[in-house]
Amino acid sequence: MSLIHLVILSPLLLAIFVPLLHKYFKSIHTGWFVLILPLVLFVYFLSYLGTSMSGNTYLSTMNWIPSMGINFSVYVDGLGLLFALLITGIGSLVVLYSIYYLSKEKEALNTFYVYLLMFMGAMLGVVLSDNLIVLYSFWELTSISSFLLISYWYHREKSRYGALKSMLITVFGGLAMLAGIILLYNMTGTFSVRETIANVDLVTGHELFVPALILFLLGAFTKSAQFPFHIWLPDAMEAPTPVSAYLHSATMVKAGIYLVARMSPVFAGAPEWFWLISVFGIITLFWGSFSAVKQTDLKSILAFSTISQLGLIMTLLGVGSAAVYYDYLSPNVYTVATLAAVFHLINHATFKGSLFMVVGIVDHETGTRDIRKLGGLMNLMPITFTLAIIGCFSMAGLPPFNGFLSKEMFFTGMLRATEIGVWNMDTLGWLFPVLAWVASIFTFIYSMVIVFKTFTGKLQPEKLDKKPHEAPMGMLIPPIVLASLVIIFGFFPNTLKGIIFPTLHSIFPGNFTVEEVDIYFWHGWTPELFMTIGVIGFGTFLYLTLAKWGKIYNWFPQRLTLNKLYDGGLVGLERGSFAFTKFYMTGYIRNYLVMIFGFMAILLAILLTRNGAFNFNLDNTTPVGVYEVVLSLIMVISAITILFTTSRLSAIIALGVVGYSMALFFVLFRAPDLALTQLIVETVSVALFLLCFYHLPDLSKEVSRLKFRLTNFIISVSVGLVVILIGLSVNSSRLFESISSYFEVASYEEAGGKNMVNVILVDFRGLDTLFEIAVLTIAAFGIFAMIKLRLADKKGEVNDEG
Amino acid sequence: MEIVIIIVAGILIATATYLMLSKSILRIVIGTGLLAHGAHILLLAMGGLKRGAAPLLGQQADAYADPLPQALILTAIVISFGVTSFFLVLAYRAYQELKTDDMDKLRGNENHE
């Protein structure tokens, strides 16, 4: 166990002590204790930057289950480090923000920080694990901690609904991913990502390649809220705002992006990978931005905006994967898409984190997030307003913020995608830039909605719960830090080169070297620039006329939305399984017996015919005797009498006849002990039958005639037939002689008894007899207890019998 | 001879099955009794019905009937007797408490979870 393992597990370790700190330092907000850890971790991960920039990686392994190849291997490369820095950096800011956002007196702070630290540790584990099983374990831990954080205010029904929804969807994807991991293991024999990449030849072209690819993408799409799995993210907005800012914008929803980037060296270059990621990404991009415009809740707008931006990053990764197909031909135009993806990933984390915090401040200071109630906060909250402008303009892709740069690069990537000459892109490629451009217009519109509907216009104090005023400084510092990063990355994007290019090396490993290009603000009069100008022009026009065309959102049938589908699906599943269980769990013992007997008869019959097990010969049989035949007839006749009699007495007597015939059979077949026992047992049994069913005064002595039922008849006849067939087959083929010759010799010589049956019972196989005695004892005690014990009476319940 | 016995056992088991599928609790108990008889006689037949002396060494015979199936059947008879008597008293008590011997009415509560 090296230091880095301790670093990954440190949030989990601290989580153990949080409740103690909360209990014993009541006067200090628990968040202050927590804040130290992500700050330290951030600085620690910064120290890896030098290693990463010089193209080196760091690997450290700790054994977990070595016999199964499952080891806690930590692998720090560009991609892992980028995410680790995001997690710890934004984590620190979110903890700071939460200190001011969550009240010390009103909220259960201990649980909040336990969950948050759990999430932080899990997320670090996801991005730094080299072993896929360990990655999966941490992956599920993020789902669980996210579930706990969404339902933080568990007394609200909506919180519980949102938490359950996100849990079901992300765990579904997580399990699919686990299946993908196992398929990959089948192909390569290792769980290590690095070794899988090294042995990528084993994977490519394997028949399990496409299933594994789809299963991995299911995991990535559900976690990263891609269409049609995006529906959990808007409902996850019931979480406290620091959680939304941290999990549902900057870190957890990017775990899917991370997975796609991490597995790119394994799967990229295949048309399935390219098409699935690009198409689902661009649909998500478009649908998210289109749906965001109609929202009236600020957090919902941001949720759909997050969905849309995640789709954007996903599309870029998909288009970038074409670079592998072209074998990294230099200068490769498709790597620019991946570069844009990584750059936008960083940008999105900065501006979306700050926007969530801004919305949280507005909510905190006014008591509402509904844009129909808000307005005119510009003069009251100038700092918040500035932060919102920076965040939203960056999100809309306006200069001079970092969003502008990544949006330009996004357009570049999409335009280049039309030039891909394979996989039918020559016919369908034009869709990419068109959809991207339209989606950008919607992005522009909702960004403007956030800024102008909230902060300009008329103040409506009568609709607000509180008198709005500027937030405390502590709450403003985290968004200020993020917003300044937005501006710094906007003006000096090349400061990020040190982290972006090692990341690209992780996504495109091998001998390939990504050309280190500078990211420029001004790149000449390119088509991308005209597209941006078009976005601004159309966007402004559509924003100003929003009231007129906004009605088209009402055209969509409410019944066909994905949420309705999800809810209906859950209800349908529940009803379906209930109906199915009702169908076969009828409660009638006859139905269960029909199933058991029928199943037994059918199964044995199939076995007999399929394996040709039936055979019949008369070699081993003894000659038929007259006495036995007569006795057999008596037995069969009395058994059948039971079926047809209507009197209880005749039925009992007929059963007795069968029993006494059995005793006679035992006499004929030279079994004196059996005959004795059978006689006595049958006598006692008949007496008991009579006692219970005949001599009871209030029971009618006649029973109705047994009704003929065809199913019962078929089943009992087939059970009897199967028994006969098996009996005949067994009788026809004796495999070896009986061991009884031993008893003939040993009974007297070794056990000193001449009655072989009794010697076997008490000497050779005495243990059977011991437990047979136990059975009788238990039966006797059971009968005694049943008759004597009347708990219902003692409880004073009504009992007519007395 | 074994063939006859096997067929008798099959008929006994078929009858027992038919009785166990009926509604009346008495018929079900009788069915289990018949089933036990069928099983015992099948055991005996499977052990082989070769003529020979009873398995008592004092008989000084050349061949004896196989003692092992007999010992097994003896154990089975006693156990099935214990179970049948328990079952009978259970049916009796059920009748006493619930006033019915119709299995369709002994279904338990429809609304239990």
| A27-59 residue pLDDT tens | 888 888 889 999 999 999 998 888 888 878 888
Q: Which residues of B touch A652 (CB under 8 A)?
A: 30
Over residues A681-704, mean pLDDT: 76
Contact B22 A712 (CB under 8 A): yes
Contact B78 A772 (CB under 8 A): yes
Contact B14 A719 (CB under 8 A): yes
Nearest to A622 among B2, B75, B110 (CB): B2
Over residues A408-436, mean pLDDT: 77
Confidence category of residue A507, pLDDT binned at 50, 70, 90: confident
Q: Which of B24, B27, B32, B37 to mutate to test the interface with A (most CBs of A within 10 A)?
A: B37
Nearest to A669 among B15, B49, B103 (CB): B49
Q: Are A76 and A8 in contact (CB under 8 A)?
A: no
Q: pTM of this prediction?
A: 0.83
Q: Are A707 and B107 in contact (CB under 8 A)?
A: no
Nearest to A588 among B40, B70, B104 (CB): B104
pLDDT at position A421 over 70: no
Nearest to A624 among B1, B85, B101 (CB): B1
pLDDT at position A521 over 60: no
Nearest to A755 among B20, B56, B106 (CB): B56
**φ and ψ at residue A370, rounded to 5 degrees:** -80, 120
Q: How far apart are CA A744 and CA A747, in angstroms?
A: 6
Confidence category of residue A800, pLDDT binned at 50, 70, 90: very low
* Nearest Cα residue to A418 out of A284, A307, A322, A493: A322
Other Cβ atoms closer than 10 A to A16: 10
How many Å lie between the alpha carbon of A756 and the closest alpha carbon of chain B?
6
Q: If you average pLDDT over every residue of chain A, what do you get?
A: 86
Contacts of B9 (CB under 8 A, 6+ apart): A723, A724, A727, B38, B39, B41, B42, B45
Contact B9 A723 (CB under 8 A): yes
pLDDT for residue A433? 85
Q: How far apart are CA A331 and CA A323, in angstroms?
A: 10
User: Which DSSP string corresponds to A42-97?
Assistant: HHHHHTTHHHHHTT--EEEEEEEEGGGTEEEEEEE-HHHHHHHHHHHHHHHHHHHH
Find the closest chain A residue to B108 by CA distance.
A587
Q: Counting Cβ atoms within 10 Å, is residue A707 exposed (0-12), middle (13-18) or buried (19+)?
A: exposed
Find the closest chain B residue to A677 by CA distance.
B74
Confidence category of residue A798, pLDDT binned at 50, 70, 90: very low
Nearest to A760 among B1, B42, B67 (CB): B67
b/e string for B13-52 if b means 16 or more Cβ within 10 A? bbbbbbbbbbbbbbbbbbbbbbbbbbbbbbebbbbbbbeb
Q: Are A495 and A489 in contact (CB under 8 A)?
A: yes
Contact B14 A635 (CB under 8 A): no
Torsion A662-A667-A669-A673 (CA) sign: positive
Confidence category of residue A683, pLDDT binned at 50, 70, 90: very high
Q: Which of A608, A624, A678, A693 to mutate to test the interface with B (most CBs of B within 10 A)?
A: A693
Measure the N-to-C terminal CA separation of chain B; round to a whole number of Å: 54
Contact A715 B85 (CB under 8 A): no
* Nearest Cα residue to A81 out of A509, A514, A510, A503: A503
Q: Are B15 and A643 in contact (CB under 8 A)?
A: yes
Over residues A530-553, mean pLDDT: 83
Contact B79 A775 (CB under 8 A): yes
Query: Which residue's entry shows tokens 């932080």?
Result: A120
Q: pLDDT above 90 covers what percent of chain A?
A: 34
The residues that bridge with A755 in the sheet, in sequence order, are B56
Confidence category of residue A801, pLDDT binned at 50, 70, 90: very low
Contact B78 A632 (CB under 8 A): no
Q: How far apart are CA A81 and CA A342, in angstroms?
A: 12
Q: Which residues of A touch B102 (CB under 8 A)?
A: none
Measure the N-to-C terminal CA separation of chain A; round to a whole number of Å: 73
* Nearest Cα residue to A21 out of A151, A117, A101, A90: A117
Which position has the higher pLDDT, A54 or B16? B16
How many Å lie between the alpha carbon of B12 and the closest alpha carbon of chain A?
7
Contact A673 B74 (CB under 8 A): yes
Q: How far apart are CA A737 and CA A756, in angstroms?
A: 18
Over residues A623-643, mean pLDDT: 90
Query: Which residue's entry shows tokens 């209906």?
Result: A568
Q: How far apart are CA A26 and CA A32, in angstroms?
A: 12
Q: Are A222 and A307 in contact (CB under 8 A)?
A: no
Q: Which of B11, B18, B83, B84 to mutate to test the interface with A (most CBs of A within 10 A)?
A: B18
Torsion A130-A132-A133-A137 (CA) sign: positive
* Nearest Cα residue to A339 out of A87, A507, A510: A507
pLDDT at position B76 over 60: yes
User: Which DSSP string corresponds to A303-321?
Assistant: HHHHHHHHHHHHHHHHHHT
Q: Which of A112-126, A207-221, A366-380, A658-672 has the lowest mean pLDDT?
A: A366-380
- C-alpha angle A757/A763/A768, rounded to 5°? 80
Helices marked H in A129-254: 132-150, 157-188, 193-198, 200-203, 209-223, 232-235, 241-245
Over residues A603-615, mean pLDDT: 85
Confidence category of residue A500, pLDDT binned at 50, 70, 90: confident
Rg of chain B, C-alpha, whole Å = 19
Q: Which of A660, A699, A709, A740 to mutate to test the interface with B (most CBs of B within 10 A)?
A: A740
DSSP letter, residue A470: P
Over residues A102-131, mean pLDDT: 89
* Nearest Cα residue to A11 out of A371, A251, A244: A251
Contact A720 B11 (CB under 8 A): yes
How many Å lie between the alpha carbon of A595 and the closest alpha carbon of chain B?
11
Indicate the Cα dihedral angle A37, A39, A42, A47, nearest 10°.
-100
Q: How far apart are CA A36 and CA A39, in angstroms?
A: 5
